[in-house]
Each structure stands twice: as structure tokens, then as C-alpha cells.
Amino acid sequence: MKEHELIAELSRILGSSSGGGAPVSGLGVGIGDDCALITQPPGCDLLVTTDSQREGVHFRWEWIDPFSVGRRLVAVNVSDIVSKGGRPAFSVVAAGLPPGDPPGRIAEVYRGIAEESRYYGVVVAGGDISRDPGGMSLVMTLLGWIPPGTFVGRGGLAPGDCLYLVGRPGRARSGLLSLEKDQDETLFSEARAAFRTPRALLREGPLLASFPGVVSMTDTSDGLGRSLWELARASRVTIKVEEIPVSKEVRKWAEALGENPGELVWTGGEDYDLLVGVSFREEEAFLKWARTDLLEGSPEGLFLIGQVGERGDPEIIFGSGTGGKEWGAGFEHTG
């Protein structure tokens, strides 16, 4: 298939070509020109993030179907936008195709991108196709909108503030290890679903950001430990860890895998939970609000992780007083 034919097919799948389909609010020009034209909603700041999914780095074809890879690409990008309190809006996708890629595989990836984009309210406004001899690579750049002054950064923690996690940590790592170790599907179906098709906290992110006591936030793409470290580093504070939340399921999976359950939660990554810093003055109000308005009827959990100690060199300190700077362990792309 010629490149322009493939682009036409992918564009049909996405249904957002400037030539056809229903007009999309804010999209002046979509797929089919040199670049896209987007109208920014009045009174909004622009958020931009980019994140990739690469064969051999983020997934292996023995573990995952192409449709889920497409879904995964969207969710990991959406997570970065909602973790600041923003609303995802438009994306572009750069796809690298290995020579001899089975016909139809990239189309199936795009069906996944289209479905997940619809779910999160994202419109794919363009992209790029090139060869990639290293395997399939997908890079999404996602734009989002946020009311001025409401961005919640990684900095902002002060002594006494509390750290809470919203989500279900340790699932994706359990799923990944169960695939690596070729474990039984039935025991790990939920963990594998969390790994293959993570959900981004679309509703919870902006709600948390709008709560006055929330002073700092990040998503846990690289693991709970790494995310805590990033908040400590950006805020220039020490953090005392009180508890690592290990659910019954994670305990069960860890036992079957022969792994330490705390380790799955601490270093795992790819859960896309939200780690939230709450001002100590607002903690009581936050808990009351979070348990009802934020999470009533939701499968996501709310866990106290620790407390901010002092200002100064960032450090993660465990309840027992052990630990130290090396406890920023998490997934590394370099080295």
C-alpha cells in the first residue's frame, strides 16, 4: 500500500479528516494538510505533552494485541494532562513502521487510538508516518486546555503536608511480570488488563486539582517511589513514607509470582494513578470530600502514603528511619 493510501485509511478510521466526517468543534483543519489548525477556547491555557509506545520497550506483540497498543498510547498521554488538572483535546501521532509489518496491524492500532480518543474526548488532528527498522514506534503529542491559574505542578509541598495516592497501585507491574513469566491467564486477567489498557483518571484529575487543599500532583507512570521522589525534588523537601498500599489482589499476585508485594507497588510503574500532596490545614476536609464526592462508587482507592518532613535536599525516609536518596528507584530508559 502506498503511503498516501495508508494515510487515507488511517484518517477514515479516525474519522477526523478535514475532508469528511462531522465537523469537530475547535478543529479548523485536520488530517490532510501541512499542519492542523486549532482554535483555542477563550480563557484557556494550553497544555502540551508527548509520550511514546515502542515495540520492545513498552510492549511485545506476544503480550498484547494491536488494538490495545493504540488504546494504551492514548491513555498514557491523557494521564499527563489530567494529572495537572487539564482536559485533553487534540493530538497528533507519529507512527514508525518496521519493514514487513503484517498488513492491517497499524490499522488495528489506529482503531484502538480512535476508540480510546473518543472515550477521553480527544480528536486526532494529524500525524506522520516513517519507516522504523527498530520495530513499531508510536509517539503521540497531546494538547489540552486548562483554566489559567489552576495548573497543579510537582512542586508546592510544604512541611507537614500529606501525600495521598488515588488509584490501584501494583496492578500493571503484576500484569507485566505475569506475561514475562508466562503465568496462567485466569489468575492475572485483571492485572494484565491494567497493564495492557491502563485507564487515565480523567474525572479525578481535574476534580482533585480544583480542590483548594491540593498543592501538588503527578501521575505514577514510572512507579510510586519514583513519583514521590519527583515531588520531593521539585518541592525541595524530605518525605516520610508511612505506608506502601498493598491490596489483597497484589498480595495474591506477588505470591504467585514469587515477588515482594511492596516492591511491585513501589517500583512498578505504568499504573497511572495520581499522587496528591494535600495541605495539612485542609487534610480533614480533603478526606471527607475525597471519600464521598470524589470516590463514592468508584473502583479507585484512596491511600495515605506519607508526610512532608523538612525543606532542604530531597530525601525519602521510611517509617523506621531507613532509606535514603537511592529510594527514587523506578523505571529507567537510560543507562
Ligand X SMILES: Nc1ncnc2c1ncn2[C@@H]1O[C@H](COP(=O)(O)OP(=O)(O)OP(=O)(O)O)[C@@H](O)[C@H]1O
Ligand Y SMILES: Cc1ncc(C[n+]2csc(CCOP(=O)(O)O)c2C)c(N)n1
Binding residue positions for ATP: 110, 127-128, 154, 221
Backbone angles phi, psi at 308, to 5 degrees: -80, 135
What are the grid coordinates assigned to 261, written together? 508485594
Residues placed in the known binding site: 34, 49-51, 58, 80, 110, 127-128, 154, 219, 221-222, 270, 331
- Number of other residues whose CB lies within 10 A of the CB of residue 153: 15
Given 116, 219, 230, 315, the residue binding Mg ion (CB under 5 A): 219
Within residues 56-115, the interface with ligand Y by CB under 6 A covers 57-60, 76
Q: Helix, strand or coil for residue 142?
A: strand
Within residues 197-236, the interface with ligand Y by CB under 6 A covers 221-222
The interface partner of residue 59, options being Mg ion, ligand Y, ligand X, none and the CB cut-off 5 to 8 Å by kind, is ligand Y
What are the angstrom distances between the C-alpha of 31 and each of 7, 97, 106, 121, 240? 9, 19, 17, 17, 49
Per-residue binding string, ligand Y, 254-293, x by CB under 6 A, is: ---------------xx-----------------------
Return the bridge partners of 166, or none. Answer: 274, 302
The interface partner of residue 270, options being ligand Y, Mg ion, ligand X, none and the CB cut-off 5 to 8 Å by kind, is ligand Y
Q: Helix, strand or coil for residue 207?
A: helix
The interface partner of residue 229, options being ligand Y, ligand X, Mg ion, none and the CB cut-off 5 to 8 Å by kind, is none
User: Is 331 a binder of ligand Y (CB under 6 A)?
Assistant: yes
User: Is 80 a binder of ligand X (CB under 6 A)?
Assistant: yes
Q: Which is nearer to ligand Y, 61 or 318 (CB)?
A: 61
Q: Which is nearer to ligand X, 31 or 201 (CB)?
A: 201
Distance CA 167, CA 152 (A): 18
Distance CA 315, CA 147 (A): 33
* 263 Cβ neighbours under 8 A, 6+ residues apart: 254
Q: Are 231 and 306 in contact (CB under 8 A)?
A: no
Within residues 113-152, the interface with ligand Y by CB under 6 A covers none
Residues that bind ligand X (CB under 6 A): 51, 80, 221-222
Residues that bind ligand Y (CB under 6 A): 51, 57-60, 76, 176, 221-222, 269-270, 331
